[in-house]
Structure 1
Amino acid sequence: MKLGLQLGYWGAQPPTDDADLVAAAEAAGFDAVFTAEAYGSDAFTPLAWWGRRTSGIRLGTSVAQMSARAPTATAMAALTLDHLSGGRLILGLGVSGPQVVEGWYGATFPKPLARTREYIDIVRQVWARADPVSSSGPHYPLPHQGIGTTGHGRAMKSIVHPLRTDIPIMLGAEGPRNVALAAEICDGWLPIFFTPRLAPMYKSWLDEGFSRPGARRARSDFEICATANVVVTEDRSATLASMKPALALYLGGMGAEDNNFHAEVYRRMGHTAVVETVTRLFRAGRKGEAAQEIPDELVDDAAIVGDPGHIRDQIVAWERAGVTMMVLRGRSVTQLRELAALVA
């Protein structure tokens, strides 16, 4: 089992301890550090900033939102950072949700699977640098032609030769068709709410992708880098309670009321009644009550909280469920060292 550090995206202000966390993670043998983006900080700049102080740890976006950049722009950012880091980049991509895509980026959300397939194909063309990059669309036509264009566009190759022509791409995916797509065209899957209890269901989704003609990977060389709240504590109840306000936001406040991908994940886990109650309360402005309606069992499904023996047992369970990397939310240097020792 590998370990990853999840720095996430910034809140109202930049974090002050990320440099210490990244250094501690590399010293403790962590395999990768990941950053994210929503509608504030971006995913690439922090990796470049902290990556310059490291030498071996891989640098991943988890995730870079596809609507934030044209596929060629994402390919350029990845190519550049891969050069600067000596070949340590992981490009994690995700479609985000309709509220962000249409409300923040001014793009359209429908057909996310088709857009993802087309987007990744263009990114890989840039890195391969075998031919000028072209795409028949319909989502990202290159060269862009037709009404409103000059007609002067032409297919081009990247000026810069990539350090690696096949940088790993991982997909942030939650639904069955998106997970299957990750298995078909990507090098890894980045689940945000993973539970070993549903391992057979995940396996069926992944196997659907692996079985498709031309699939890039087999199960044996495909990475599953699952983000998890892992906390060593003797007070499970208090720790689980502290996680509930954030979960209430994901279950009840993310996306639209009738189109919340995170809520769907927990419905598949069997928590439909809780999700409905939390959503109703949260959207009525009763956020504290919404958090109180979340049972410990729901939190525990996708978190690992307890004494060292329980942590070790659960890490084994996650590994048996197919997870190849536990991506931990770093709270302190001491915590990172403690968790690295437990996994070892």
Structure 2
Amino acid sequence: MKFGLQLGYWGASPPVGAAQVVTAAEEIGFDAVFTAESWGSDAFTPLAWWGAATQRVRLGTSVVQMSARTPTATAMAALTMDHLSGGRHILGLGVSGPQVVEGWYGQPFAKPLARTREYVDIVRQVLAREAKVTSDGPHYPLPYNGSGATGLGKPLKPITHPLRADVPIWLGAEGPKNVALTAEIADGWLAIYYTPRLAGMYDEWLDEGFARAGARRSREDFEIAASCQVVVTDDPRSEIDRIKPVMALYIGGMGAEELNFHAQVYRRMGYGNEVDEITRLFRSGRKDEAAQVVPDELILDTMIVGDETQVRSQLQVWEKAGVGMLLVSARDTEQLEKLAPLVRG
């Protein structure tokens, strides 16, 4: 089992000590470091800034929101990051949700699967640099010839030669159609709120994608990285209680009430009634009560917590389910050191 450090996105201000956490993760033996974005800090800048002090770990985005940049702009950032890191970049992409896409980026959210397919195709054209980049659209037509076009646009190839034509593209996906698309066109799956209990269901989604004509990968060379809190402690009760308010936010308050992808994930796990109650309480302003409704079992489905023996046992369960990397968070180097024996085997 490999470990990736998930730095996430910033809150009201940059995290304190993140640079030290990144270098410590590399020294301990982490395989990769990831940054994210929401509607504040971006993913690429912190990755380049903190990643500059590393030599070995892979540097990934989990995830870059597709509506934040055109496909060619994302490809430019990816080829730049790959050069600066000496071929260590992983481009993690995701569609985000309608509140962010339409409310923050001012872009339409409709047809996320078709947009993803078109977006990834353009990024791969740029990285391959075999011909001038073109796209028939309809979402990202190149050259642009729609309303307001001058007619002077022409197909281009990137000036800079990419270091690697096959920079790994991993997709953040939660639903069955998106996971199947990920298996078809991507190099890896960034799974959020994964539970080994439903590995059989995930395998069906993945196998559908692997079986499609022209699929890029097979199960043997496809990476699955699952976000998972891993906490070594003799007081699991405190850790479970600490994470409940966060889960209440994501289940009950993240995204639109009628379209919350995180809530849908937990409904598939069998927590439909709990999701309804958490959502009702959270959206009525009773956030503390919403957190209290979150069952322990819901937390433990997607989190590993316990003493070292218990955690090692659970790691084997996740690995047997097909997960090759766990993306874990750490507030400081002290927390990282508690994970060091697990990372080193």
TM (norm. structure 2) is 0.99
The equivalent of 2:84 in structure 1 is 84
The equivalent of 1:130 in structure 2 is 130
CA contact (8 A) 1:26 1:57 kept: yes
Deviation at 1:233, TM superposition (A): 1.1
Deviation at 1:307, TM superposition (A): 0.8
Listed one character per residue, the Cα deviations across residues 267-315 of structure 1 (whole Å, up to 9, x for unaligned) are: 0000000000000000000000000001111111100011111100010
Cα distance in structure 1, aligned partners of 2:146 and 2:74: 24
SS in 1 for 2:4: strand
Deviation at 1:332, TM superposition (A): 2.2
Deviation at 1:146, TM superposition (A): 3.4
CA contact (8 A) 1:274 1:293 kept: yes
Q: CA RMSD in A?
A: 0.7
Deviation at 1:16, TM superposition (A): 1.2
Deviation at 1:148, TM superposition (A): 1.3
CA contact (8 A) 1:99 1:256 kept: yes
Q: Which runs of 4+ in 1 moved over 6 A?
A: none
CA contact (8 A) 1:37 1:43 kept: yes
Cα distance in structure 2, aligned partners of 1:284 and 1:146: 44
Aligned identity (percent) is 67
The equivalent of 2:19 in structure 1 is 19
The equivalent of 1:259 in structure 2 is 259
The equivalent of 2:326 in structure 1 is 326
- Equivalent residue letter for 2:249: L
SS in 2 for 1:25: helix
The equivalent of 1:175 in structure 2 is 175
Cα distance in structure 2, aligned partners of 1:303 and 1:241: 12
Listed one character per residue, the Cα deviations across residues 17-47 of structure 1 (whole Å, up to 9, x for unaligned) are: 1111101110011110000000000000001
SS in 2 for 1:139: coil
Matched ranges for 1:27-176 at <5 A = 27-176=27-176
- Equivalent residue letter for 1:22: V
Deviation at 1:199, TM superposition (A): 0.4
Cα distance in structure 1, aligned partners of 2:331 and 2:105: 31
Asked whether 1:317 is paired with 2:317, we answer yes
Deviation at 1:264, TM superposition (A): 0.3
The equivalent of 2:341 in structure 1 is 341
In structure 2, runs of 5+ residues without a counterpart are none
Cα distance in structure 2, aligned partners of 1:291 and 1:45: 33
CA contact (8 A) 1:237 1:296 kept: no
SS in 2 for 1:8: coil
Aligned residues: 344
Deviation at 1:57, TM superposition (A): 0.5
Deviation at 1:80, TM superposition (A): 0.5
Mark the CA change 1:41 to 1:310 in structure 2 (over 3 Å): closer, same or farther: same
- Equivalent residue letter for 2:15: P
- Equivalent residue letter for 1:266: Y
Cα distance in structure 2, aligned partners of 1:16 and 1:285: 30
Matched ranges for 1:220-231 at <5 A = 220-231=220-231
Asked whether 1:275 is paired with 2:250, we answer no
Deviation at 1:337, TM superposition (A): 2.6
Listed one character per residue, the Cα deviations across residues 232-262 of structure 1 (whole Å, up to 9, x for unaligned) are: 1111122101100000000000111110000
In structure 1, runs of 5+ residues without a counterpart are none
SS in 1 for 2:7: strand
Cα distance in structure 2, aligned partners of 1:10 and 1:164: 30
Deviation at 1:122, TM superposition (A): 0.2
- Equivalent residue letter for 1:322: G
Moved more, 31-40 or 330-339: 330-339
Mark the CA change 1:136 to 1:284 in structure 2 (over 3 Å): closer, same or farther: same
Cα distance in structure 1, aligned partners of 2:110 and 2:262: 18
Listed one character per residue, the Cα deviations across residues 160-209 of structure 1 (whole Å, up to 9, x for unaligned) are: 00000110000000000000111000000001101100000010000000
SS in 1 for 2:174: coil
- Equivalent residue letter for 1:175: G
